[in-house]
C-alpha cells in the first residue's frame, strides 16, 4: 500500500493520472465518493439499529470494503446485472438501490425491497439489476452465469457481475460455474472480494493457491489481482473486464484484495485475527481515506467538498432510517404470498 500512498501524494493533474481520473469527470468522482460514504454510513447505521434492537436476525457488514463495491460497479449501467453475497449491502448501494428501502427491508417492513421477507441476507433491487444477495456461499455464482447466458441469447447487451468472497472459491459451484462461463464465452465478470477470512478461516489455511486469481487459469480466463481498497485500481480492472464481456471475449476473474473491519457476523468474537492487524488496515489502508487523499492531492476536490459529500450521505441515511421506522409492517394473513406466482 506504500505504492498507493506514494501515488496519491505525487500524482499531478494530467501527468500519468491513475485510470479513474482519466475516465471520469469530477461529478462522477464525487458521486463515487458519495456512494462510498453512503455504504459506510448505511452499515454503521444498520449496526447501530441492530444494537438498539430495532433490527433483528443478523447481518454481515462490509465496512472497509467500499472501494471494491463502488469501483466494480462504476462501468455498469442500470441494465447490467449483479449477483451479490451475504455481505452485500455495499453491492446493493453501489448498483443504485435506495437506502430507505434497504433500511425498510432490515426493519422487516412492507416498503422494503423484499417486503420484509428477505432481510439483509437477501437484499435485492431487481429494478437496478441487482438479482440479490445470497445466504448460501457461492449460491449466486451459477445464477450469474445463467443471467449471462440469457443476455447472450437475448442479445440485450447486458453484462453480469458476480460478487463472491474468498470463502466461495472453495465451493464446487464456483468451479462449475467458471468452467461453464468460459466454455460458452459468456458476458460475466467474476469478482472475488478476498477479505482474507472465510468466517474465521484464513485463505492461507483454506485455499491451496496463494492468489485466488490464479484459479482463472484453470478456466482459461484472465485472472486479475487488484488492491481492493484503491478505487482506481478496482475501477480499472472492472472497466477492462466489462469491455471484454461486452465485446464477446468472455469472462474475467478479478480478485479484489480487501479487508472487513467488523467480524464475520454479529456472533463473531474476533479470536482469529489480532487487534493490531485490524487497526493497521483501518489506520493505513482505509479505502475512503485513500480515495479522499488522492482526490485532494490531485486538486479535484477540497476538504470542504468532501465534508459536504459526507454530510449529504449522512442526511440520506438519517432520512432512510426514519422512513423505515415509519413504514408499515406486513400482516401475518399475507404469510403465504410470494411463495408462488399468483394467477393474473
Partner 1 sequence: MDAQPRELSYAQAIQEAMVLAMEADERVFLMGEDIGIYGGAFQVTGDLVHRFGEERVMDTPISELGGAGVAVGAAVTGMRPIFEFQFSDFATLAMEQIVNQAAKMRFMLGGAVSVPVVMRFPAGSGTGAAAQHSQSLEAWLGHVPGLKVVQPATPHDAKGMLLAAIDDPDPVMIFEHKLLYKMKGPVPEGHYTVPIGKAEIRREGRDLTIVATSIMVHKALEAAQTLEGEGIDVEVIDLRTVRPMDRETVVDSVRKTSRLLCVYEGVKTLGVGAEVSAMIAESEAFDFLDAPIVRLGGAETPIPYNPELEKATVPQVPDVLRAARDLVKGAR
CB nearer to partner 1: give 108 or 287: 108
Residue in the block written with cell 439489476: 129
Cα(first)–Cα(last) distance of the chain, in Å?
A: 56
Asked whether the beta carbons of 217 and 252 are under 8 A apart, the reply is no
Can residue 333 be called a binding residue for partner 1 (CB under 8 A)?
Answer: no
Can residue 58 be called a binding residue for partner 1 (CB under 8 A)?
Answer: no
Can residue 331 be called a binding residue for partner 1 (CB under 8 A)?
Answer: no
Cβ neighbors of 137 (< 8 A, separation 6 or more) are: 85, 86, 164, 165, 167, 168, 171, 198
Site for partner 1 in 155-214 (CB under 8 A): 172-173, 175-177, 179-180, 183
**d(Cα 269, Cα 265) in Å, to the nearest integer?**
9
Residue in the block written with cell 475516465: 23
**d(Cα 19, Cα 242) in Å, to the nearest integer?**
15
Q: How far is the CB of 151 from partner 1 (least distance, A)?
A: 7
**d(Cα 35, Cα 288) in Å, to the nearest integer?**
10
Contact with partner 1 (CB under 8 A) among 67, 72, 145, 191: 145
- The count of residues interacting with partner 1 (CB under 8 A) is 44
**d(Cα 331, Cα 115) in Å, to the nearest integer?**
11
CB nearer to partner 1: give 190 or 291: 190
Can residue 150 be called a binding residue for partner 1 (CB under 8 A)?
Answer: yes
Tell me whether strands 201-202 and 188-194 are parallel, antiparallel or unpaired.
unpaired
Site for partner 1 in 233-292 (CB under 8 A): none
Contact with partner 1 (CB under 8 A) among 106, 113, 163, 291: 113
Can residue 338 be called a binding residue for partner 1 (CB under 8 A)?
Answer: yes
Can residue 2 be called a binding residue for partner 1 (CB under 8 A)?
Answer: no
Can residue 131 be called a binding residue for partner 1 (CB under 8 A)?
Answer: yes
**Element counts in the chain: helices (H) and strands (E):** 13, 7
Determine how many CB atoms are found less than 10 A away from the CB of residue 149.
Answer: 17
CB nearer to partner 1: give 45 or 132: 132
Can residue 69 be called a binding residue for partner 1 (CB under 8 A)?
Answer: no
Can residue 143 be called a binding residue for partner 1 (CB under 8 A)?
Answer: yes
Q: Using CB under 8 A as the criterion, which residues of the chain lie in contact with partner 1 when the complex forms?
A: 81, 83, 112-118, 122, 124, 126, 131-132, 134-136, 139, 141-151, 153-154, 172-173, 175-177, 179-180, 183, 337-341
Amino acid at each position: 500500500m506504500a505504492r498507493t500512498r506514494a501515488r496519491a501524494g505525487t500524482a499531478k493533474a494530467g501527468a500519468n493520472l491513475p485510470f479513474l481520473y482519466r475516465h471520469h469527470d469530477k461529478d462522477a468522482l464525487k458521486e463515487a465518493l458519495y456512494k462510498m460514504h453512503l455504504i459506510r454510513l448505511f452499515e454503521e447505521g444498520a449496526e447501530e439499529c441492530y444494537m438498539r434492537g430495532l433490527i433483528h436476525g443478523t447481518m454481515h457488514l462490509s465496512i472497509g470494503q467500499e472501494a471494491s463495491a463502488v469501483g466494480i460497479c462504476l462501468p455498469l449501467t442500470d441494465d447490467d446485472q449483479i449477483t451479490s453475497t451475504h455481505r452485500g449491502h455495499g453491492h446493493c448501494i453501489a448498483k443504485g438501490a435506495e437506502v430507505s428501502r434497504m433500511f425498510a427491508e432490515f426493519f422487516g417492513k412492507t416498503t422494503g425491497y423484499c417486503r420484509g421477507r428477505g432481510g439483509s441476507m437477501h437484499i435485492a433491487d431487481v429494478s437496478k439489476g441487482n438479482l440479490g444477495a445470497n445466504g448460501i456461499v457461492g449460491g449466486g455464482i451459477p445464477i450469474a452465469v445463467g443471467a449471462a447466458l440469457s443476455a447472450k441469447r437475448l442479445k440485450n447487451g447486458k453484462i453480469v457481475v458476480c460478487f463472491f468472497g474468498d470463502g466461495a472459491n472453495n465451493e464446487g459451484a464456483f468451479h462449475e460455474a467458471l468452467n461453464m462461463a468460459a466454455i460458452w464465452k459468456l458476458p460475466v465478470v467474476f469478482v472475488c472480494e478476498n477479505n482474507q477470512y472465510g468466517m474465521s478461516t484464513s485463505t492461507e489455511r483454506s485455499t491451496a493457491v496463494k492468489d485466488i486469481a490464479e484459479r482463472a487459469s484453470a478456466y482459461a480466463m484472465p485472472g486479475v489481482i487488484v488492491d481492493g481498497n484503491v478505487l482506481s485500481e478496482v475501477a480499472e480492472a472492472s472497466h477492462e473486464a466489462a469491455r471484454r464481456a461486452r465485446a464477446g471475449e468472455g469472462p474475467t476473474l478479478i480478485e479484489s484484495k480487501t479487508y472487513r473491519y467488523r467480524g464475520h457476523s454479529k456472533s463473531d468474537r474476533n479470536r482469529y485475527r489480532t487487534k493490531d492487524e485490524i487497526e493497521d488496515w483501518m489506520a493505513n489502508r482505509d479505502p475512503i481515506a485513500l480515495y479522499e487523499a488522492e482526490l485532494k492531492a490531485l486538486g479535484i476536490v477540497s476538504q470542504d467538498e468532501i465534508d459536504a459529500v459526507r454530510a449529504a450521505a449522512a442526511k440520506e441515511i438519517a432520512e432512510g432510517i426514519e422512513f423505515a421506522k415509519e413504514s408499515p409492517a406486513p400482516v401475518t394473513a399475507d404469510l403465504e404470498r410470494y411463495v408462488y406466482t399468483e394467477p393474473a
